[in-house]
Each structure stands twice: as structure tokens, then as C-alpha cells.
Amino acid sequence: MIKHSKVEDFAADWQQLHQQVPESTKKLICDTVDRYAGDLATQFYDYMLADKEANPFISHDIVSQRLHASMQGWLRELFSVQQHDPKEIYKYQCHVGVVHARIQMPISLVLRGSRLLKQAITEHLVETELDRAKLVQATRFVSEVMELSMSAMTDSYVINVGKSVRTDESYRMFALGQNMLAERERQRAALSEWAQHILLHLLGDEGTGVPEMKHSEFGLWLQHKASIIFHDAPELERIRVCVEKLERTLLPGLIEKRRNGGNAREAMRQVEADIGEVKFLLTGLFDRFIEVESGRDSLTRLLNRRYLPTILMRELALARNSDVPFAILLLDIDHFKNINDTHGHDSGDMVLQQASDLVTSSVRVGDFIFRYGGEELLVVLVEIGRDQALQVAETIRERFAAEPMRVGDGKVMQVTVSIGVAAYNGHPDYERIVKDADDALYRAKNSGRNRCELAD
């Protein structure tokens, strides 16, 4: 949260700056910015779109659909002659800073863009009828207004980036708070299952198209969860080296020897040795950490929603940098209030626990499941497109409809769910995909419930 003193300091500086400049000069600046707002926005985003560092965060479509108009509105508001409350102006600049932090836009880009706008506005002011003294005063005013705005944005940006870092560490500690022994054995089993799959594939004389580890249960866990939990562990990088060696060298070599009648036994021994090394490193990886119980939803034992930004920001980064898709399912138990009213809150809690178990058993180890609030669950499906995500949602919905839930005293009842599905579409703000899923869920509920809706 921004300190009260910063708000007061901004308000005082803002008022003092406006008192130093004649109304006629401020009116000319306002009219100039209003007249050229479209050109200024175009110039700003042309510069951004040409900057490789900015490419992951904006696109031509996003600029034309939303950002161009937003930039014009921001400029007009900033230089308006209508004297708004400086504290409200400060809050809005802070909001913009929060959005930049959320989408992980480097603050250096924002500051470079600010300098570009100052220069462009100054060039337009030079073309007006202002004499030299008033022109100097006007350009100084524009510069100070922009500096105050950037100062407020930077304040909130730094604070929210810090929050994100702390939340990342908190999620890591939460993950370590799970039963590490059970998780270790689960991942060892997943690795063995993949190895067995490979051997059966080879024995079946299927010499091509060997299943890649990165798409296996173990591979998904390694890519999306282990990198968070064990991000600074040396064993993790060694595991990745072994996996790369296995997939790029050992397995292709084994396939080639089997085709050409070479020493496949020796090649197989090398593959088994590499898999054994991964298992050994995996055991050491888990043994380095102790159990820490924290951050778990006490009823469902699912992830707490406070960790959602951490997960979504990471998946967004993967999607931007590696073109890896992901999707969100937002589930709501239909008529949950009736369950509580008819059978009592204990029965409602029992239904929530069974619902979380059903969803957990319906998705992969590498996916993330959150207790989003009340009777809502949120699932982050990794490495999956919109059509596959919709299929997963339908499977979950059908399982709910087919499996009556216990409500106590030996009674069961039919429970259905409505599900909103949203796939990553390139937007850099993680809240947008959550809102898309929420809007789809709203349509599902309004269309009769017990259905899945895909976001537009």
C-alpha cells in the first residue's frame, strides 16, 4: 500500500505546479494535447511496437482495440484544465503502475515512453503562438506533470513487484509444506512410468515418434512446478541436463542402433543409467528440503487463491517466451446455497471436499487447482489449447453429473457444476483471462447451469 505521506506530497507538488502557470498557458497545453492526442498515441505505440523489449507485452491488435484509446484518454486527463482532486489523480497513476507490474512490463520501457511523449508534446507547443518565455514555462509544465505521473507509477510499480516476489517465495514455501516424501515417490513413479512406456514403444518396433518426456506427467511437473519449488537447487539443473541428453542423444542413438543392427544392448544400458541418474538426483532434490505447513485451504487442501498471481504470471511468461499455451477453468457448484439450506453447512463442506477430490483426479499432476472462493474452484491447465481445455471441462462436468455426492447420514444427492473456460489469447494481463473465464461462467449459469461455456 502507498504511504499516506506520498499521496500528500504528490498533491502538494501538483497544486504548487498548477499555481505557477497561468490559466491561459494551461488551456493552450490542454487544447494542444487534445488536438494531437491521436497522433501522440500513434507515435508512442509505433515506438513501442518497434522495440524488441516491448514485443512480448503488446501487439498491433491490442493497441488498436484498447491501448490506443486508453493512451489518448490518459493524456487528456493528465493535462485537463478541469482541476480534479490531486489525490485521485495520484491514485489513477498508481493504478496504471499496478497494471504495468502485473503484466511484468519493464519500468524502463514506461520511462522511455514518457520521454518520447514529452518531446512530442514540446514539438507541438513550439508550433503555437507562445513567445519564448511562455514556451519555456509551458514545456517545463509538461515535463513536471509527466515527471509527477511517472513518480506515482514507479511508486506503485516497485511496491507491487515486491509483493509479487514475496508471494512467489510464499508459494514456494507452501509447496514445500506438502508431504514431500509422498510427492517424491509420486514423481519417481511418474518417471518410471514414462521409462516403461519408452521401452514398450521400442519393443513394439515403433522406431519413430518416441514420446517426449516433457509431455509426460513427470515432464509437466518438472517444467511447471519443480522449477518454482526447487528454483535454486543445483540438482534441478542437473536433472534438466540429464533429460536433454536422454532425449537428444541417448534415445535417438538407441533407435538408430536398433534399425541398423548395432549394439542396442549397450545403448539401452546407457538410457537406463541416465534414467537412474535422474531418479537419484530427484531423491536428493526432495531430501534437501523439509516440510513446512502453510498456505493451504483448510477445507479442500487445495491451493489458496493468493498464489494465483504467482502461477499465472509464470504461465504468461512461458506463453510469451516459448509459445506454450494454457487455459483456465472456473467451476461453480450449481445451487450450492440450496445444499447448505437443505442439508446444513457440514454437508456443504462435505460436498466441497468431494468436489475438490473429483477435480483433482480429473486433471494432470502438472496442472494447478485453487479454492477460488466459496463454492468456486479454479483450474490452471498447462500446455493445453482452448479445444482441449473445453474437453477437460466437459469431462469434469459429466463426472459431476454421473457421480452422486454424500451429504451425511447415509444420504447422497445429485450435484452439477457450471464451468467457464478461457484460453490464453496473448493478452499480457493475467486478470484478463480470469475475467474471461468468469464471464463464460456467468453465461453458463444464466443459460441453465450444468454446462460449459467457452470465453469469446
| pLDDT tens, position by position, 300-313 | 888 888 788 889 99
Cell of 16: 504548487
Under DSSP, the state recorded for 4 is: H
Indicate whether 109 and 133 sit together in one domain. Answer: yes
**Among 246, 263, 293, residue at a domain's last position:** 293
Would the pLDDT of 216 be above 60? yes
- Quote the pLDDT of residue 294: 47
- Mean pLDDT, rounded, of the chain: 85
Indicate whether 252 and 379 sit together in one domain. Answer: no
In a domain? residue 245: yes
Q: Which residue has the cell 459429466?
A: 398
Helix axes 132-176, 308-322, angle to 10 degrees: 110
Indicate whether 168 and 184 sit together in one domain. Answer: no
Domain CATH number, residue 101: 1.10.490.10
Question: For 240-245, what is the mean pLDDT?
Answer: 88
Mean pLDDT check: name the lowest of 18-22, 99-103, 324-328, 450-454.
Answer: 99-103
Under DSSP, the state recorded for 428 is: S
Under DSSP, the state recorded for 215 is: G
Indicate whether 196 and 153 sit together in one domain. Answer: no
CA–CA dist 206, 218 (Å, integer): 22
In a domain? residue 389: yes
In a domain? residue 1: no
Would the pLDDT of 445 be above 70? yes
pLDDT band at 205 (very low <50, low <70, confident <90, very high): low
Q: Are 261 and 254 in contact (CB under 8 A)?
A: no
Cell of 298: 483448510
| pTM of the complete model | 0.60
- Quote the pLDDT of residue 174: 61
- Quote the pLDDT of residue 119: 93
The proportion of the chain whose per-residue pLDDT surpasses 70, expressed as a percent, equals: 90
Indicate whether 241 and 307 sit together in one domain. Answer: no
Q: Are 148 and 14 in contact (CB under 8 A)?
A: yes
Would the pLDDT of 402 be above 50? yes
pLDDT digits (tens, 9 = 90+) for 280-295: 888 878 776 643 344 5
Would the pLDDT of 206 be above 60? no
**Among 142, 174, 206, residue at a domain's last position:** 174
pLDDT digits (tens, 9 = 90+) for 182-195: 778 888 888 888 88
Other beta carbons within 10 angstroms of residue 52's beta carbon come to: 6
Q: Which residue has the higher pLDDT, 395 or 204?
A: 395
Nearest to 406 by CA among 336, 360, 352: 352
- Quote the pLDDT of residue 1: 44
In a domain? residue 237: yes
In the chain, the number of structural domains is 3
In a domain? residue 33: yes
Strands 452-454 and 417-423 come out as parallel
- Quote the pLDDT of residue 273: 86
In a domain? residue 283: yes
In a domain? residue 446: yes
In a domain? residue 298: no
Question: For 436-454, what is the mean pLDDT?
Answer: 96
Indicate whether 333 and 414 sit together in one domain. Answer: yes
Indicate whether 18 and 163 sit together in one domain. Answer: yes
Strands 326-333 and 376-382 come out as antiparallel
Nearest to 14 by CA among 96, 125, 88, 105: 88
Would the pLDDT of 298 be above 90? no
- Containing domain of residue 169, as a range? 6-174
CA–CA dist 426, 404 (Å, integer): 39
pLDDT band at 123 (very low <50, low <70, confident <90, very high): very high
Indicate whether 62 and 167 sit together in one domain. Answer: yes
